[in-house]
Amino acid sequence: MHEPDPDLIPLEVAGVRRQLPGDDLIVLLHEPERELVLPIVVGPAEATSIAVAVEGVVPPRPLTHDLLRDVIEATGNKVDHVEITELLDGVFHAAVVLGSGVRVDSRASDAIGLAVRTGSPVLCAQAVLDAAGVDTSGGEDDREIERFREFLDSVEPEDFEAGEPPGPSP
């Protein structure tokens, strides 16, 4: 087993939610110790794939993440863990770390989809969690949650594609 970086924080996949009014699909990753949630906007195909796996539904034919899992296992390897490594220009970057120690660059949504299917841990760089995590403990932090809701109301999926920071234009 490959030892993950100690600056990586374990997260739990809490599920996929539709955020209104824009109908954005968001994967929620939960860090229970500090009561943080890391929301990651994903596409519809990835959201469906993750939600299906979280619910334990086994499709009659393999979905893309099932196929990737099967290919990794057929080559005698396994997924050790996945890492949410950085947040650049509003885009989450990730890596799939195999049991052999090989790291494979990945979109965060694909890494999460694979982790859910393999039962592998999802780890997140402390800097990413500090930058994008939302405190859900309540009290004074309710303002932070409201600020996050305002951010979600103003962000568009295209904001994550063009390399521009998400949110309203100045």
- Whether 27 is in a domain gets the answer yes
How many whole angstroms separate alpha carbon 90 and alpha carbon 48? 22
Q: Is residue 166 assigned to a domain?
A: no
CATH of residue 14: 3.10.690.10
Sorting pLDDT into bands at 50, 70 and 90, what band is 4?
A: low
Alpha carbon of residue 139 to chain centroid:
26
Tell me if 71 is assigned to some domain.
yes
Which residue segment(s) compose the domain that 147 sits in?
8-160
Residue 91 · residue 160 · CB < 8 Å:
yes
Tell me the per-residue pLDDT of 21-31, one tens digit each, with 9 for 90 and over.
778 899 999 99
Confirm whether 170 is domain-assigned: no
Q: Give backbone dihedrals phi and psi of 30, rounded to 5 degrees, phi first.
A: -110, 130
- Count of domains in the chain? 1
Q: Is residue 131 part of a domain?
A: yes
Residue-wise pLDDT for 53-100, tens only, equals 999 888 888 888 999 999 999 999 999 999 999 999 999 999 999 999
Give the Cα separation of 99 and 58 in Å (integer).
Answer: 24
Q: Which amino acid is at 34?
A: R
pLDDT tens for each residue of 115-168:
999 999 999 999 999 999 998 877 555 555 666 666 666 666 555 554 444 444
Q: Report d(CA 7, CA 153) in Å as an integer.
A: 31
Asked if residue 110 belongs to a domain, the reply is yes
Residue showing tokens 């004074």: 140
